[in-house]
Amino acid sequence: MVFSGCCGVGRVFGGPGRSGPGWGRVWVVWGGGCFTAGSGGFYVGGVRTVCVSLGERSYEIRVGSGLLARLGEWCRDLGVSRRCAVITDERVAGHYLGRVMGSLEGAGLEPVAVTVPAGEGSKRWQVVHRCHDALAAARLERRSLVVALGGGVVGDLAGFVAATYLRGVPFVQVPTTLLAQVDSSVGGKVGINLGAGKNLVGAFYQPRLVVADLDTLGTLPEREYRAGLAEVIKYGAIADGSFFGRLEGVMGGLLSRDAGVLEEVVARCCEIKAQVVSEDEVEGGRREILNFGHTIGHAWEAVAGYGRWLHGEAIAVGQVLEAELSCRVVGLAREVRDRLEGLLERAGLPTRVRWTGRRVERLLGAMRLDKKVRDGRIRFVLLRGLGCAEWGHVVEEGLVREVLGS
């Protein structure tokens, strides 16, 4: 087995054969690595900018206030056809569609709007199909742009529509939820759900640009805002212990949506994600750390029924339970697990669910469809320390059952 150490270069694969203290035999194929603190991008023309470096697929994430007004000019500068489409949901349309259409038209583009129902239920085939029909009816061409205006649901859906229409047209992410600004608009995972599990159909398809206008967060309902904090906290837990400490310090400012705190935090999250994605675009290894809390969280979203639990809520519980597994399997200090649970609680997120009997079995069934599964074995992302995540841990099912029911 080769292992680079928690803060080493981070590309590690080993064979089976590790024992967890007192828990019988635990099989692992793992990897690890963590980050140094960054500054959250740099300023270009007064706009905070983070780069995702992917060769010819590289793009910028622009973060700040008042950016919707500049969207049209930035889209035009991508060299796309005049005709384009804005895919959004009914709620977001009520707040921002007019402004976005105006900005695009002001730059000489000819946008059509495609509006889908709000919520997780729109990440399904029928809605993809309707979007494709709308693009065809509007005669979109190969160089026509799709603008995804909304939260993670719209971003995942519209990105998948863009990836598949005419075998791929350019798209731009305009995220309007905290979750989408820090996570789903970056990195190119696009797709939809199946009844059997989350995001089981999709593609890796990078946007050409991400425009995160922090002003849009002003209208986001409290529950949705807090759900986004689960992904924010995840970055500290998996990649940057000092950022985690900073989040503990600024949680009050985050909860009151302080503009300065938001810009700093959104940019740092994007920077961490950009770094991981740049190293491992299609999740051959290290990118799996972004899935911390998701093995259990995604299973719970599917078992509970899509939309009952918000994604952020489900992965908040998932993070606490996967931290618990980390304590038992790789000796994560209990104090770290408790700090994680404490910060998620301060963010107003659920951290515990009592699952019993058939629920536990259904959760395990859903986890067996997780995309990280190899040769039928569920693989977890575990924390060795604060800011140090390892991927590829195969944990004995008896232990997983015990933690799910604890």
Ligand X SMILES: NC(=O)c1ccc[n+]([C@@H]2O[C@H](COP(=O)([O-])OP(=O)(O)OC[C@H]3O[C@@H](n4cnc5c(N)ncnc54)[C@H](O)[C@@H]3O)[C@@H](O)[C@H]2O)c1
Active-site residue set:
167, 189, 231, 273, 283, 287, 291, 294, 298, 311
* DSSP E strands, 273-402: 379-385, 388-394
CA–CA distances in Å: residue 392 to residues 26, 234, 259, 295, 371: 12, 17, 37, 12, 12
Q: How far is the CB of 198 from ligand X (least distance, A)?
A: 6
Q: How far is the CB of 311 from ligand LNCXM5UN (least distance, A)?
A: 6
Length of the chain: 406
Near ligand LNCXM5UN in 198-237, by CB under 6 A: 198-199, 231
Q: How far is the CB of 231 from ligand LNCXM5UN (least distance, A)?
A: 6
Near ligand LNCXM5UN in 333-392, by CB under 6 A: 371
The residue with its CB nearest to ligand LNCXM5UN is 199
CA distance 71 to 290: 28
With a CB cutoff of 8 Å and minimum separation 6, the contacts of 68 are 96, 99, 100, 103, 174, 211, 213, 215, 216
Q: How far is the CB of 272 from ligand X (least distance, A)?
A: 13
With a CB cutoff of 8 Å and minimum separation 6, the contacts of 213 are 64, 65, 66, 67, 68, 174, 176
Which residues make up each annotated binding site for NAD(+)? 152-156, 176-177, 189, 198, 216-219
Neighbouring C-alpha atoms within 13 Å toward the C-beta of 34: 24
With a CB cutoff of 8 Å and minimum separation 6, the contacts of 349 are 226, 227, 229, 230, 312, 313, 316
Residue 291: contacted member of ligand X, ligand LNCXM5UN, none (CB under 5 to 8 Å, by partner type)? ligand LNCXM5UN
Q: Check binding of 294 to ligand LNCXM5UN (CB under 6 A).
A: yes
- CB nearer ligand X, residue 12 or residue 206: 206
- CB nearer ligand X, residue 20 or residue 152: 152
348 sits in the region (left: phi over 0; alpha: psi -120 to 50; else beta) called: left
Near ligand LNCXM5UN in 126-185, by CB under 6 A: 183
- CB nearer ligand X, residue 216 or residue 351: 216
The residue with its CB nearest to ligand X is 152
CA distance 175 to 128: 19
Q: Are strands 145-150 and 28-34 parallel, antiparallel or unpaired?
A: unpaired
Residue choice 187, 228, 318, 385 for contact with ligand LNCXM5UN (CB under 6 A) = 187
Q: Check binding of 318 to ligand LNCXM5UN (CB under 6 A).
A: no
| Residue ranges binding ligand LNCXM5UN (CB under 6 A) | 183, 187, 189, 198-199, 231, 287, 290-291, 294, 371
